[in-house]
Amino acid sequence: MPRGDIHVPIAPPLLGIRSALPKHLVPEGYLVDGQNVLPRNGVIVVRPGMARLTSSAPSANRVMGGIDYRDNTQTQRTVVGTVSTLHSFDGSVWSADIAGSALTGGSSDQIRFSVFPFGATTRLVAVNDVDSPRVWTGSGNFSALGGSPPIAKSVTTAFQRMILGNVTVSGTRRGSSLWISDFQNPANWPSVNQVDLPDTGDVIVEVQVLNTQSFAIYKENSQWIGIGAGNVFPFIFELRGLQPGPVSPASVVRAESLHFYVGNDGNVYQFDGNAVTAIGTQIRSLIYNDMDWTNKARTHGFYDAINKELWWFWPSGRASGEVWSGIVYRMPYLDIPAAFSPLMQFGVSPTISFPWFDSNSSSWNGLSSYTWDGASFISTYPTWDSFPRSNTLGALVGDTAGAVFRIGQQGGDDGAAIDAIWELPLRPVVGDGFIAQLDVIESFFKNTTSALNASVTAITSNTLGDTGTQETAQTIALNSSGTKLRATYENTTGRFLGVRYRINSVDALTEYRGGVAYCYKRNEGT
């Protein structure tokens, strides 16, 4: 039994990380440090890993873009592009190259896709800021988009028209220009629909449909909208903000009726069509200090609609320009507040990411070889969450070697362990100048069926004049059903206490739910 008669609750840090404050000033409910963990569903979880979608890669070249959509026959289409090729996925294998002719983009030329669903055939258009726009009808190869449209950095579809942003015409860059197609016809580009937005003196980074009334134009240092007019001129254009723009086209992520992006100052911004709002002040320094700004154009992200999370990936200054870092933002919903995760460090270098409708997971009908209480079933699917449901929303990422991975899988990052860390802030233990003697830290985790350990490290301080002293880490076994998970710290003293946890595993199916520190007064402080 613990000797301590003072019980200090350790609340799970459900509000994410606050990296801009000293450890002792971080409010209750926040992390002061960490990596590879998410505040999700009222607990802390190790972020999901990445598993190869298939044993073979679509190409040996860097993946530069991807999209998952349904055509007018409701057939699911998944397409990825590399620096030189384009490929479709039929649910089991990747096609051979369907680019038609080789793409010539570089390692920072993201491929942007837009679906044009009007007419008898759904058309998919691809641009990469280097080659002329290409179109695919769902069979055969991509071909040149009709009407001789210019090279474009970005593309979107709004009000039954296709829109190209930041174009190159006959070898001349027109970075503030938009080209807008004819109504329901992306193969006709009337000269009257060519629009310039030079007033702010910056160039277009991304164009993206926002809602039923408008599409957004993101420039380097300003934000505009195009509002459907329905007359001779299809859109009215209005300047809506003078905030830092996105670091790359693919860093702009649509979530429901809002846009979010990583800005040129390291902050995260939200745009609702009326105002641009900085929402990432608490983690701005984290992003700014980690990002390789020379290669910022490689940044990308996606929206996880199931968990209401926005994921971003960016090139780290610690990794020679490749994408190894990221962060997750949980949108507020119901009574759950918004939260930013700590820094993510990936074992796979994700060059691009996009949402994906997984219709090929296991289903009830595929379990005929199992019995509910059979050992094989229990060992394969120990929890409901571990069972891969049919028809689920997920996400895919591509890497530098042409492989494509599913996010949300067990098994780490392509078999590599995920190193998960989370640290809670320093807090006074007994108050009134007394020094506390720590006896035991009891932690509350969801029990696991497989062998999984966590390390617990007490952090103590007497003055708050430093970051605290890390005591010797203790190991607790999370598969010890019925056993209290206690780390013993006899003879450890301090006026202020923090706790640091760590799990390094390829199979971290657990949840952190808080804890209790058992202490007693040792003597009065001076």
Please tell me what DSSP assigns to residue 47. P
Residue 301 is part of which domain span? 251-340
Rounded-to-integer distance, Cα 72 and Cα 74, Å: 5
Instruction: Compute the half-sphere exposure of residue 91: CA atoms within 13 Å on the CB side of its CA.
Output: 8
What total of structural domains would you count in the chain?
2
Where does 244-285 show beta strands of DSSP type E?
253-255, 258-262, 268-271, 276-278
Q: What is the dihedral of CA 243, 249, 255, 259, to 10 degrees?
A: 20
Residue finishing a domain among 302, 323, 340: 340
Q: Is 311 inside a domain boundary?
A: yes
Decide: 443 and 453 in contact? Cβ < 8 Å: no
Sign of torsion, CA 56 61 64 70?
A: negative
Displacement of CA 143 from its chain's centroid (Å)? 32
**pLDDT computed for residue 378 by the predictor:** 46
Q: What is the DSSP string of 133-173?
A: PEEE-SSS--EEPTT-PPEEEEEEEETTEEEEEEEEETTEE
Decide: 239 and 187 in contact? Cβ < 8 Å: no
The two tokens of residue 429 are: 């233990």
Q: Is 374 inside a domain boundary?
A: no
The two tokens of residue 232 are: 């001779």
**pLDDT computed for residue 374 by the predictor:** 46
**pLDDT computed for residue 59 by the predictor:** 94
Displacement of CA 384 from its chain's centroid (Å)? 24
Q: How far is CA 433 from CA 64, 384, 438, in A?
A: 58, 48, 16
Residue type, position 304, single letter: D
**pLDDT computed for residue 225 by the predictor:** 97
Q: Is 336 inside a domain boundary?
A: yes
String of b and e for 388-404 (b: at least 16 CB within 10 Å)?
A: beeeeebbbbbbeebbb
Residue finishing a domain among 304, 320, 340: 340
Helices (H), 222-274: none
173 membership: H or E segment, kind and range:
strand 172-180
Residue type, position 355, single letter: P
**pLDDT computed for residue 3 by the predictor:** 62
Q: Is 320 inside a domain boundary?
A: yes
User: Are residues 428 and 331 part of one domain?
Assistant: no
Q: Is 282 inside a domain boundary?
A: yes
The two tokens of residue 16 are: 């994410």
At residue 367, what are phi and psi to the nearest 5 degrees?
-105, 20
Rounded-to-integer distance, Cα 261 and Cα 245, Å: 8
Decide: 81 and 65 in contact? Cβ < 8 Å: yes
Residue finishing a domain among 340, 362, 391: 340
Q: Is 111 inside a domain boundary?
A: no
Please tell me what DSSP assigns to residue 251. G
Q: Is 93 inside a domain boundary?
A: no
Instruction: Compute the half-sphere exposure of residue 477: CA atoms within 13 Å on the CB side of its CA.
Output: 8
Rounded-to-integer distance, Cα 162 and Cα 185, Å: 8
Spans of the chain below 70 pLDDT: 1-3, 231-232, 359-392, 433, 482, 523-526
pLDDT in tens, 237-292: 999 999 999 999 999 999 989 999 999 999 999 999 999 999 999 999 999 999 99
At residue 287, what are phi and psi to the nearest 5 degrees?
-70, -45
Q: Is 13 inside a domain boundary?
A: yes
Rounded-to-integer distance, Cα 415 and Cα 17, Å: 27
